[in-house]
Chain A
Amino acid sequence: MNKTYSALNLFREGLRGQRGWAPAWRSPKPKPAYDVIVIGGGGHGLATAYYLAKVHGVRNVAVLEKGWIGGGNSGRNTTVVRSDYYYPESAALYDMSVRLYEGLSRELNYNIMLSQRGMMILAHSEAEMEIAARQVNAMQINGIDSQLLDTEGVRKLAPILNFDRGARYPIHGAMYQGRGGTARHDAVVWGFARGADRLGVDIIQNCEVTDVIVEGGRVTGVATTRGEIRADRIGAAVAGHSSVLAHMAGYRLPIHSYALQAFVSEPLKPVLDTVVLSPGHGTYVSQSDKGGLVFGGGLDRIPSYGQRGNLPVQETVIGGLSEMVPMFSKVKLLRHWAGIVDVTPDSSPIIGPSGVEGLYLNCGWGTGGFKAIPVGGYMLAHILATGRHHDLSRPFDLSRFTRGRLIDEGAASGIAH
């Protein structure tokens, strides 16, 4: 069976009807016990398992997924990758993620199509230009590539935007990160799954965790729809349902669940290379390699576990896109969908101990979880393997809320994606 992906193998397989390819991952039966259980077969959970096996040599690992892997937010996002964050703590975390992304296709031997076509956040006024400058300076000091563009600089990269000075949100310039871009979201999930599987990790789909077994204040396993599975170290990467798991295990989180919508248009010939975000309209857009405009905006305003969106936000986001690029108003919307995201008070993730011994968290990524998949997995793997925070994850410990040490990227992230 053919296990290695390459142009040569693809050619050979083409000659024999692609019949020799091995399964991308196995579908094993769950064992009664593992060294580590990772709850949640999204990007973060699979990346956690991969790095546990790869970096820490912990291979007796199960990833439990209640449905199909990547069926949560990993497969529902708008695929943006970037590290244009303001605070040093966030910058270090997200930039490590981008760096991991940059080597991921070859490391995983799976083309995740990381496309660094650049990401710009528009500035619509002189005041926003000042804030953009502050942000660009912060990023440069933190060692992250970033540029301040003027109107002409924006025009060069995205000539189809609305440069009319009479626009409601005129374009004064933009903050630009050239290493920003997109990656194929499903490929990230499948690549990590295949990578983890090849290192011995059991990926168990259709296995819903129904209870967390806590004995004497420590976690000892989980009850699932496929029976009880034991482990004394458990990582939870269940964005959107973090509070549900917290309820099972008996801890509280500062999280609200909201629906975040995403949209795609009919496919068009290429007209837009970069990812563009307009803070004024609350809309961002990129064009996929397939030609569809992939776009989104802010959260729905109603706490929700229903994976579907609502008209008011659709009107804001789609109307905003039509203002950003007037010719798009005649382009057709193909579909829209929603994911459920964890929203923390400071829009920053929670990584680290849960309060129940042996149970560690990776949650609270809000609207930005996709871009953080590699680093989120890396950090959770580190703490599961060593019992200690990685330096980069320490500021994101749950205790920051008690200490008042919030990392509020509200100003830096503009809006959701």
Chain B
Amino acid sequence: MQLFPCPFCGPRNEREFHYVAEPGKTRPDTTGDITAEDWAAYLYDTKNEKGPVREVWMHLTCRELFVMERDSVTMDVLGSKTLRRTLPAEGAA
């Protein structure tokens, strides 16, 4: 059982987290024309790296969406950072 650092709550048991996606995929502006290839790439393509990775996770209990850096082989957690621009009250981590 792993411990993931929620940027707001601090370290919590992995059961409280949900993997969301790889970061860096911006939703295309769908009011304009988008090729089927670009849309499929946005929807489906992954880097799926072996080793250090950056991923978007959700802390289910506080619903914080954040970027976590970890190693997909050793499971070491390297850090986490909120996706929020404004930080009215800094969390425990």
Whether A243 and B2, one on each chain, are in contact in the complex, defined by CB atoms closer than 8 angstroms, is: no
Is B36 on the interface with A (CB-CB < 8 A)?
A: yes
Whether A253 and B48, one on each chain, are in contact in the complex, defined by CB atoms closer than 8 angstroms, is: yes
- Name which residue of chain A comes closest to B35, CB basis: A402
Q: Which of B1-53 contact A (CB under 8 A)?
A: 1-2, 14-15, 18-19, 36-37, 39-41, 43-51, 53
Chain A residues with CB under 8 Å of B1's CB are: 310-312
Which of these, A243, A301, A311, contacts B47 with CB under 8 Å? A243
| CB of A296 to closest CB in B, whole Å | 19
Whether A252 and B45, one on each chain, are in contact in the complex, defined by CB atoms closer than 8 angstroms, is: yes
| CB of B3 to closest CB in A, whole Å | 12
Q: Answer whether A253 and B15 are a contact pair too, CB < 8 Å, given A305-B72, A306-B72.
A: no
Whether B37 and A255, one on each chain, are in contact in the complex, defined by CB atoms closer than 8 angstroms, is: no
Is B78 on the interface with A (CB-CB < 8 A)?
A: no
Q: State the CA gap A244–B74 with chains docked (Å).
A: 16
Whether B72 and A304, one on each chain, are in contact in the complex, defined by CB atoms closer than 8 angstroms, is: yes
Whether A310 and B2, one on each chain, are in contact in the complex, defined by CB atoms closer than 8 angstroms, is: yes
Which of these, B36, B37, B73, contacts A305 with CB under 8 Å? B73
Is A256 on the interface with B (CB-CB < 8 A)?
A: yes
B-contact 0/1 string along A295-325, CB 8 Å cutoff: 0000001111110001110000000000000
Whether A304 and B40, one on each chain, are in contact in the complex, defined by CB atoms closer than 8 angstroms, is: no
Whether A305 and B50, one on each chain, are in contact in the complex, defined by CB atoms closer than 8 angstroms, is: yes
Whether A254 and B37, one on each chain, are in contact in the complex, defined by CB atoms closer than 8 angstroms, is: no
Is B55 on the interface with A (CB-CB < 8 A)?
A: yes
Is A290 on the interface with B (CB-CB < 8 A)?
A: no
Is A106 on the interface with B (CB-CB < 8 A)?
A: no
Whether A302 and B44, one on each chain, are in contact in the complex, defined by CB atoms closer than 8 angstroms, is: no
Whether A301 and B48, one on each chain, are in contact in the complex, defined by CB atoms closer than 8 angstroms, is: no
Chain B residues with CB under 8 Å of A367's CB are: none
Whether B14 and A310, one on each chain, are in contact in the complex, defined by CB atoms closer than 8 angstroms, is: yes
Q: State the CA gap A306–B14 with chains docked (Å).
A: 16
| CB of B88 to closest CB in A, whole Å | 30
B-contact 0/1 string along A233-260, CB 8 Å cutoff: 0000000010110010000111111000
| CB of A396 to closest CB in B, whole Å | 15
Chain B residues with CB under 8 Å of A312's CB are: 1, 14-15
Is A68 on the interface with B (CB-CB < 8 A)?
A: no
Q: State the CA gap A306–B45 with chains docked (Å).
A: 21
Is B62 on the interface with A (CB-CB < 8 A)?
A: no
The 8 closest A-B pairs by CB, nearest first: A254-B44, A243-B48, A402-B40, A252-B45, A311-B1, A305-B50, A401-B40, A305-B73
New A-B pairs, 11, CB < 8 Å, besides A254-B40, A305-B73, A402-B37: A243-B47, A252-B41, A302-B19, A304-B72, A305-B50, A306-B72, A310-B1, A310-B2, A311-B1, A401-B40, A402-B39
The interface of chain A, by Cβ under 8 A from chain B, is: 241, 243-244, 247, 252-257, 301-306, 310-312, 345, 401-404
